[in-house]
């Protein structure tokens, strides 16, 4: 088993029972401890979890501790870690109008309280990152929330949570997970860009990064690898959610690599080149018409495809034809400063050279076809 | 003519000759001076322009001054202003691989030089804002540009332009105009959020804001009024491009209000409530099967619909049923701080109240139906 | 109450408990008899239902009859009818791979059997139309089903059902309801066009039409009013599902008129002009953050907006400015035959007149702006 | 060079000069005779063309014959054929409101005449298929055309053209090419399904099939391989346009296989299994930032990727693990009749077995992962 890739799976991913808006579950619930064991056997580095994945809503206090201890023992036995912890602020009906941005102040307060409890849990389990996905932070009715008020409340909540975590002595960093819509008509902080900007307005921006998800950026038709690129450029890629999704559809959360292999390749190549060392988290689930065997095929497939794409990226960059094509496209030249101390008048004078500069080609057809051929394994 | 709304039209909007990817022009070019005159008669406050709209590429130096003086005289005579100036960094074939982010360093230098010349022009015409739309800053081929390099070059260019403008003594502020795709497969800074974040990385973030466009955010299916809301919240709405667009389609640039009347209403209501005082710029054009009469109907329609929506927003907010519905939805309560100095343990204890908080409704159906009925003029 | 519009609501629409993929129900289930009563008070003409809406899966035989009799009595008392009946072939986990097109032949047989039972129920309740929505007839995995086999099985099932219904002496016509995706990755018969074609391959095409739904065509970004137009042109509009939806999103089923008012106006105007006399069925539900009061506001709103749009359509067509604009756009001329017996050589000679024909405009900006102003109630 | 795949390229594809809505051409026009020669060297079977690709609009009569003769000689010398001919009914400004469905009857007549002339040309060149793409047959303004009138005129035109072609003694079949939008806001016959239905309403449906294009179905987010499947099922796949496109974007016409490799694989596998023997037409063009070398890389890449995918399809179907997975998914069972003469009561009784039928899984994760691994060349 390669150890360099720290693959993780949410308890809710392999444990997904196959419920959807049009039908009930098709699979039995999984005991988290069984999931840990099986994922360890398949070569995963760790797991992630919502508070309610582990401790069902309404579990009395004393039982909670036993549940946590039992999971911890299972993780220790399997030699596995916790990539991230998070809180479920979307399932309970009280969150139907939002959590941190519910119009009801009492709901907002309880939401912050629930997140604090989940931070306690994450800290206890040694989670590296605490993810905040604001799935209900939005609206279907434009007049129901002033977006400026909503962002103000969102900021207040995030600042309080970071303060709380630091006060408890936790080292966890936070990661915001953007999504454009579903389950709300429009969700606040819809893309990686909106989240990156929001973070700059926080009291402790250093503690908060993003958790981009393939499916979420792709729903809006945005380039996932460009979004991840902007996060890396800003040193804000604290976590990543890998899966498969078609543009302009319901949230599909398919097996990583099952959709858009070339974009998946670009993402993997970027992560590898950037030396991203955080968890590679598969936030996905098996097709609803599969049984438990299919669930483990799904988990195996996510990891196998990531490894195959990482190998393809290496093959690509080592290929002399590719190197020639990259040079023909002047790819490295984009890394060079444009101005180099020259003064404005010099630059203005160079405008007259534009007609001559139009002649060259950039060899992009060849470069992309080489990527396709590497991907297809025919070179 | 109401004077409170400063409506502007780009020279390229009413002057659009009706060319598209599948057919040539259907209308004669317009003389900018004629456009100014006619727009003034129709009640527009001013115009906006690309450098090349006014001064065709290749015009010799001495003639340029005459052209500028002639436009200035026409503006003065009509009592009109220049809302924004910008530079065309997408039409010339040398920009086929990008301008500030072309892989060819010489192209990048000429692009910065061309923008500097356009800043000179904008300053001379008294433009309030200098817009940068990076239509060619992107790629179809993921391996052709490292997105981190591209953003680095983009930043270098923007910093240089702001420096240059300040050094010339101009008071113009800058506004970045995001767009997700077209004419490139994927464009860097695809949404308002990505641009807002990028601005925080600049040397002089105070000088740079955003110019959101209905069509551009809508192409990606994002809520335009939420995007504008985040820009206003950040004090970064320096300019706005109003038009009409269907989600998930080619860049349509239809007449403002011709698509999604309810979202248009939300945008206008937000602008009015926020006291936005900048130019209201219609970046749109007449349908290709219309003649010159249709062009002026188009311009008249943009302004008429904005005014009708502003009036509807006033009617909405003054309606006692609406006020009741806003209260039932607790809309104002979202403006109140959530925590108010309470300590974490208090908030954590309130989690146990969630079940009781789930009972209430938020009256969103009624509130939205009231908006629809105000919009339809039946209340 | 106007009687000319026969508004209907599915039991599952007002009865929708607010469950979604990320959260449980927020409203109590409704007793179908209470729904009937309340809908009657609000002015609905009738209801529609799935077999399982009325008779929960697993109800023993003798109880079924009592349930049906109780509903029938409630309908009679309210003076209401049944617009359509259908069968739920998507909720039971056995249908996870499809119903008529499941790869498992035993599932396909049971699916046809269940539809036959539902036909019995529909016949007993006097339903006008029997709708078939094949929500699970699709796949996420392209190699899992040959689409030709799937269509063959779909045809076999539809032929069997029509035969069965006629053999039982029912007068119900059938209507296929297309949808592009969700809950399956891709659904067979994704649009009105695919369904209209499929119908022409059936043994009794005269008995089968379509049931287009706003949300379903709109998810794919298609013009709903063009789809309805093609169905009307083919005399195949046997039923219609009205609701609200944004392009490129999860299946939203919002209140009719809550999204894209202009397209909604085009649809209503087309239905009114075509003299469509079938049920106007609202297949939608209240926002999840609303309580039961919101449900009835939702139902009232659907009907109120339809009536307001029908009134706007009348106002539009009666407006002298509109009539002038329609003439300027040569709208009626599209109704005139093009050739009129002329021979090919005559037509070929007319090609040389194209340059002259390019000069005229079609006044589309004015025409559309008039529609917007009628819609906004400012004319 | 394999001979079994008859690859063709439109003259306008390799000849595309790189113009787009935001910039002028970046490449010189190509002489059709040079294109023929070069395509022949690269292994293409033939070409396709619009009338105006070969004979520029306005060319005097006598010169036209010389141009045609010159092309014919070049084709003969290269041993190449003409896959399809078509007519350009979108470029001339007279078609700005439509061609067969323009509101102006004189335009409609000239459009039919122009198509007749193009049929003459196609017949002379021995084209197998005559394609009709109605790019301008649509509208941006819903009130400007009654869709029923438009379809009636469309039918009249198609009937006249088929009659004309048969009367001239041509053996060409016709193929309708659907597209949802661009250059019009909404185009009539937006998908393969709508076109297949429309064909059933024609006087000679046997003479008319469809020409599905990857980009066009994909713009609407529809499964291309399902659309092609329905066309094959109906014996109506007369021609096919292969290229690359992202969902929900402007018409991209990228190199075949450059987007969505898995869907491309499904399409190729379906074509190969169905024994489709018509032209495999690449309706695409090189990236705008490429020069002429890039154009030939583009053409080479289209064919290379098709061949690689065809080889992958063979490898997939020959793999014993795949065969096992196909059996586990009961793929062949979908080819078996469902009912087999059983009576309704038997089928109705089988409904009670549904609970038991829910237990099995369909092994779809494994099946799809095998497809991914075959595609990636790792099995």
- Catalytic entry in B53, B241, B253, B283: B53
Say what the pTM is. 0.98
For the question of residue A50 being annotated catalytic, the response is yes
Residue A1, pLDDT > 70, answer: no
Cα–Cα dist D146/C329, whole Å: 12
Least CB-CB distance to B230: which of A104, A147, A347? Answer: A147
What is the pairing mode between strands A208-210 and B7-10? unpaired
Contact call for residues D188 and D138 (beta carbons, < 8 A): yes
A3 pLDDT band, cuts 50/70/90, is low
A118 pLDDT band, cuts 50/70/90, is very high
What distances in angstroms separate CA B314 from CA A140, A147, B306, B375, one per listed residue? 21, 19, 13, 11
CB contact under 8 A, A334 and B149: yes
User: From C301, which residue of chain B is nearest by alpha-carbon distance?
Assistant: B369
Q: Which two tokens stand for residue D173?
A: 């079949």
Residue A377, pLDDT > 70, answer: yes
* pLDDT (average), residues C241-256: 98
Q: What is the pLDDT of residue C3?
A: 52
For the question of residue B225 being annotated catalytic, the response is no
Three-state SS annotation for chain D: CCCCCCEEEEHHHHCCCCCECCECCCCCCCCHHHHHHHHHHHCCCEEEEEHHHHCCCCCCHHHHHHHHHHHHHHHHHHCCEEEEEECCCCCCHHHHHCCCCCCCHHHHHHHHHHHHHHHHHHHHHCCCEEEEECCCCEECCHHHCCHHHHHHHHHHHHHHHHHHHHHCCCCCEEEEECCCCCCCCEECCCCHHHHHHHHCCCCCHHHEEECCEHHHHHHCCCCHHHHHHHHHHCCCECCEEECECCCCCCCCCECCCCCCHHHHHHHHHHHHHHCCCCCEEECCCCCCCCCHHHHHHHHHHHHHHHHHHHHHHHHHHHCHHHHHHHHHCCCHHHHCCCCCCCCHHHHHHHHHHHHHHCCCCCCHHHHHHHHHHHHCCCC
D interface test, pick of C103, C170, C200 with most D CB neighbours within 10 Å: C103
What distances in angstroms separate CA D328 from CA C144, C254, D364, D375, one per listed residue? 10, 40, 9, 21
One digit per residue, the tens of pLDDT, for chain B of length 379 reads 345 899 999 999 999 999 999 999 999 999 999 999 999 999 999 999 999 999 999 999 899 999 999 999 999 999 999 999 999 999 999 999 999 999 999 999 999 999 999 999 999 999 999 999 999 999 999 999 999 999 999 999 999 999 999 999 999 999 999 999 999 999 999 999 999 999 999 999 999 999 999 999 999 999 999 999 999 999 999 999 999 999 999 999 999 999 999 999 999 999 999 999 999 999 999 999 999 999 999 999 999 999 999 999 999 999 999 999 999 999 999 999 999 999 999 999 999 999 999 999 999 999 999 999 999 999 9
Cα–Cα dist A317/A266, whole Å: 12
Nearest one of D366, D332, D371 to C145, comparing CA atoms: D332
Phi–psi pair at B129, nearest 5 degrees? -135, 145
Residues of D marked active site are found at 50, 53
**Mapping DSSP to helix (H, G, I), strand (E, B) and coil, where does residue A115 land?**
helix
Interface of D with B (CB under 8 A): 18-26, 90-93, 95-97, 135-136, 140-141, 181-183, 185, 219, 221, 246-252, 254, 287-289
Contact call for residues B164 and B170 (beta carbons, < 8 A): no
**Mapping DSSP to helix (H, G, I), strand (E, B) and coil, where does residue C310 land?**
helix
CB contact under 8 A, A149 and B262: no
Q: What is the pLDDT of residue D4?
A: 81
Cα–Cα dist C147/D321, whole Å: 22
* Residues in C touching A28 (Cβ below 8 Å): none
* Residues in C touching A141 (Cβ below 8 Å): 287
Q: Which two tokens stand for residue C253?
A: 């089923």
User: Angle between the A192-199 and A147-167 helix axes, to the nearest 10 degrees?
Assistant: 60
What distances in angstroms separate CA C362 from CA B35, B246, C298, C358, D105, one per listed residue? 21, 22, 39, 11, 13
- Per residue in A18-38, pLDDT (tens digit) is 999 999 999 999 999 999 999
What distances in angstroms separate CA C289 from CA B359, C26, C39, C101, one per listed residue? 10, 7, 21, 36
* Residues in C touching D92 (Cβ below 8 Å): 354, 358
* Residues in D touching C101 (Cβ below 8 Å): 334
- Per residue in D230-256, pLDDT (tens digit) is 999 999 999 999 999 999 999 999 999
How close does chain D come to A249, measured CA to CA in Å?
8
How much of chain C exceeds pLDDT 90, in percent?
98
Let me know if D163 is exposed, middle or buried by CB neighbors in 10 A (0-12, 13-18, 19+): middle
Listing DSSP states for B357-377 in one string gives: HTS----HHHHHHHHHHHHTT
Least CB-CB distance to B365: which of C286, C308, C360? Answer: C286
Let me know if C358 is exposed, middle or buried by CB neighbors in 10 A (0-12, 13-18, 19+): middle
Least CB-CB distance to D258: which of A246, A289, A368? Answer: A368
Q: What is the pLDDT of residue A4?
A: 81
* Residues in C touching D234 (Cβ below 8 Å): 197, 201
* Torsion angle in degrees (nearest 10) through CA of A26, A31, A33, A36: 10
Residue owning tokens 């084209």: D127
Which residues on neighbouring strands pair with residue D47, listed in sequence order? D9, D82
First to last CA, chain B: 26
Q: How many residues appear in chain C?
A: 379
Q: Hey, which chains touch A, using 3+ CB pairs under 8 Å?
A: B, C, D
DSSP state, residue A21: T
- Cα–Cα–Cα angle for B102, B103, B109, rounded to 5 degrees: 55
CB contact under 8 A, A96 and C288: yes
Q: What is the pLDDT of residue C4?
A: 81
Residues of C marked active site are found at 50, 53
User: From D22, which residue of chain B is nearest by alpha-carbon distance?
Assistant: B91
Let me know if D364 is exposed, middle or buried by CB neighbors in 10 A (0-12, 13-18, 19+): buried
Cα–Cα dist B127/B124, whole Å: 8
Q: Which two tokens stand for residue C327?
A: 């003439």
- The CA R_g of chain C, rounded to the nearest whole Å, is 23
Listing DSSP states for C28-75 in one string gives: PPPPHHHHHHHHHHHT--EEEEEHHHHS-TT--HHHHHHHHHHHHHHH
Cα–Cα dist D199/A200, whole Å: 58
Sheet order of strands, B7-10 included:
B208-210, B173-177, B129-133, B81-86, B46-50, B7-10, B280-282, B240-242
Least CB-CB distance to C258: which of B297, B359, B372? Answer: B372
- The sign of the CA dihedral A274, A275, A277, A281 is positive
Phi–psi pair at B98, nearest 5 degrees? 115, 170
Q: What is the pLDDT of residue C184?
A: 98
- Per residue in C28-60, pLDDT (tens digit) is 999 999 999 999 999 999 999 999 999 999 999
- Per residue in D152-203, pLDDT (tens digit) is 999 999 999 999 999 999 999 999 999 999 999 999 999 999 999 999 999 9
How much of chain D exceeds pLDDT 90, in percent?
98
Q: What is the pLDDT of residue B4?
A: 81
**Mapping DSSP to helix (H, G, I), strand (E, B) and coil, where does residue C23 land?**
strand
CB contact under 8 A, D250 and B182: yes
Which residues on neighbouring strands pair with residue A85, listed in sequence order? A49, A130
Cα–Cα dist C252/C234, whole Å: 28
Neighbours of B211 (CB within 10 A): 30
* Residues in A touching B160 (Cβ below 8 Å): 339, 344
Q: What is the pLDDT of residue B3?
A: 52
**Mapping DSSP to helix (H, G, I), strand (E, B) and coil, where does residue A318 land?**
helix
How much of chain C exceeds pLDDT 70, in percent?
99
- C180 alpha-carbon distance from chain centroid: 14
Report the number of secondary-structure helices (H) and strands (E) in chain B: 15, 10
Nearest one of C23, C81, C87 to C54, comparing CA atoms: C87
D368 pLDDT band, cuts 50/70/90, is very high
Contact call for residues C274 and B352 (beta carbons, < 8 A): no
CB contact under 8 A, A23 and C90: yes
Contact call for residues A85 and A118 (beta carbons, < 8 A): yes
D3 pLDDT band, cuts 50/70/90, is low
How close does chain A come to D290, measured CA to CA in Å?
5
Cα–Cα dist D181/C370, whole Å: 24
Instruction: Please name the residues in contact with C57: beta carbons below 8 A apart, sequence gap of 6 or more.
Output: C91, C92
Which residues on neighbouring strands pair with residue C173, listed in sequence order? C129
CB contact under 8 A, D249 and B289: no
Q: Which two tokens stand for residue A267?
A: 């993402």
Q: What is the pLDDT of residue C313?
A: 97
How close does chain C come to B267, measured CA to CA in Å?
15
User: From B363, which residue of chain A is nearest by alpha-carbon distance?
Assistant: A144
Least CB-CB distance to D221: which of C114, C149, C180? Answer: C180
Nearest one of C119, C154, C109 to C135, comparing CA atoms: C154
CB contact under 8 A, D358 and C92: yes
Neighbours of B345 (CB within 10 A): 10
Question: Is this complex scored with an ipTM above 0.95?
Answer: yes
- Per residue in D48-84, pLDDT (tens digit) is 999 999 999 999 989 999 999 999 999 999 999 999 9
How close does chain B come to A47, measured CA to CA in Å?
26
The mean predicted confidence, pLDDT, of chain A is 97
């Amino acid at each position: 088993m390669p150890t360099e890739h720290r693959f993780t799976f949410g308890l809710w991913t392999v444990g997904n029972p196959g419920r959807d808006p049009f039908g009930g579950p098709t699979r039995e619930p999984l005991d988290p401890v069984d999931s840990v064991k099986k994922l360890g056997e398949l070569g995963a580095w760790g797991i992630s979890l919502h508070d309610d994945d582990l401790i069902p809503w309404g579990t009395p206090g004393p039982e909670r501790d036993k549940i946590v201890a039992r999971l911890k023992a299972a993780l220790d036995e399997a030699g596995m870690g916790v990539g991230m912890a998070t809180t479920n602020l979307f399932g309970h009906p009280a969150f139907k109008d939002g959590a941190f941005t519910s119009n009801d102040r009492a709901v907002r307060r309880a939401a912050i309280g629930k997140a604090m409890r989940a931070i306690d849990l994450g800290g206890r389990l040694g989670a590296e990152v605490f993810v905040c996905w604001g799935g209900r932070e939005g609206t279907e009715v434009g007049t129901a929330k002033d977006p400026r008020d909503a962002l103000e409340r969102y900021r207040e909540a995030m600042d309080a949570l970071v303060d709380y975590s630091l006060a408890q002595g936790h080292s966890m960093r936070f990661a915001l997970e953007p999504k454009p819509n579903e389950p709300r008509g429009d969700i606040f902080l819809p893309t990686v860009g909106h989240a990156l900007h929001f973070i700059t307005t926080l009291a402790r921006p250093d503690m908060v990064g993003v958790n981009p998800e393939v499916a979420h950026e792709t729903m809006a038709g945005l380039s996932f690898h460009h979004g991840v690129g902007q996060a890396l450029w800003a040193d804000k890629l604290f976590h990543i959610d890998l899966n498969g999704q078609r543009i302009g559809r319901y949230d599909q959360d398919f097996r990583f690599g099952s959709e858009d292999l070339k974009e998946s390749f670009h993402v993997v190549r970027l992560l590898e080149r950037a030396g991203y060392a955080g968890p590679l988290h598969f936030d996905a689930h098996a097709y609803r018409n599969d049984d438990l065997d299919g669930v483990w095929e799904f988990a195996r497939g996510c990891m196998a495809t990531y490894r195959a794409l990482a190998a393809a990226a290496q093959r690509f960059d080592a290929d002399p034809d590719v190197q020639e094509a990259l040079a023909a496209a002047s790819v490295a030249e984009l890394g060079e400063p444009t101005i180099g101390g020259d003064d404005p008048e010099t630059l203005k004078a160079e405008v007259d050279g534009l007609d001559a500069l139009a002649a060259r080609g950039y060899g992009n057809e060849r470069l992309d076809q080489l990527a396709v051929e590497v991907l297809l394994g025919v070179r």
